Amino acid sequence: MQKNCYELMYNRKNWRDLNKEKSITRQEAEEEHEEVQQEIYSQYYVQKAMNLLRKIQKESEVHDQWGNGDATQVHHIFPKSQYPEIAHYIENLIKLTATQHYTKAHPNNNTQLVNKDYQLTCLLAKADTIDKSLQRFGEKYYRKESFVYVINTGLECEDFTPRMPFVDIKNLLVQIYNAA
């Protein structure tokens, strides 16, 4: 059996290394690949949750003076950049109007800032949305356990439990935000 000239070349790239830079190890390349894959999966699940929210919520979930107009914005109550582990939870997403999103939730249109007072408003509104949805549809769209997990993660506490009635969850949220 005769070898092809290319197969006999010295210092040719190993077939395992075709898609990696020469300056990094195979293990480092594999870790980078896994990180990229995880980010792609994460973005997919966030987008999937946002699409579901757009499908089930036609109007703003926050009923305030800025809630007039089309609810075109999906807002992360606890920011995706700070809490990536809950970014894909539909319980962490809320439908808002553009005015609510860019002037109230993110003051002066700065999406790096979060208005804590409006964050509380969003959490209270989301609690109402979830409570009504659970009564009407069961766990078709939302889970109370997931909402509690989102709150505990976002507030970095363990004060909330799924056994709490929604009214108690809302009262405790108000107490925590007023104490801050």
Structure confidence by residue, pLDDT tens digits, 129-158: 999 999 999 999 999 999 999 999 999 999
Q: What is the predicted pLDDT for the residue at 85? A: 95
- Span 14-32, mean pLDDT? 72
Q: In this model, does residue 86 exceed pLDDT 70? A: yes
Residues across the chain: 180
Q: Of 104, 102, 107, 156, which Cα lies nearest the Cα of 125?
A: 104
Q: What is the predicted pLDDT for the residue at 172? A: 97
> In the beta sheet, which residues pair with residue 93?
76
Q: What is the predicted pLDDT for the residue at 26? A: 73
Q: What is the predicted pLDDT for the residue at 43? A: 92
* Spatial contact of 117 and 77, defined as CB atoms under 8 Å apart: no
SS (H, E, C) the chain: CCCCHHHHCCCCCCHHHCCCCCCCCHHHHHHHHHHHHHHHHHHHHHHHHHHHHHHHCCCCCCCCCCCCCCCCEEEECCCCCCCHHHCCCHHHEEEECHHHHHHHHCHHHCCCCCCHHHHHHHHHHHHHHHHHHHHHHCCCCCCHHHHHHHHHHHCCCCCCCCCCCHHHHHHHHHHHHHHC
pLDDT band (50, 70, 90) for residue 4: low
Instruction: Write down the residue that tokens 């757009």 correspond to.
Output: 54
Q: What is the predicted pLDDT for the residue at 31? A: 76
- Give CA–CA dist 144/14, Å, rounded: 52
> In the beta sheet, which residues pair with residue 154?
none
Could you tell me which residues come within 8 angstroms of residue 84 by beta carbon, excluding any fewer than 6 positions away?
A: 42
In order of 3, 13, 114, 116, 130, the CA distances from 148 in angstroms are: 64, 52, 20, 18, 11
Q: Which two tokens stand for residue 44?
A: 């997919």
Which percentage of the chain shows pLDDT scores above 90? 69
- Span 64-83, mean pLDDT? 93
Boundaries of every domain in the chain: 10-179
Global model pTM greater than 0.85: no
- Span 158-167, mean pLDDT? 97
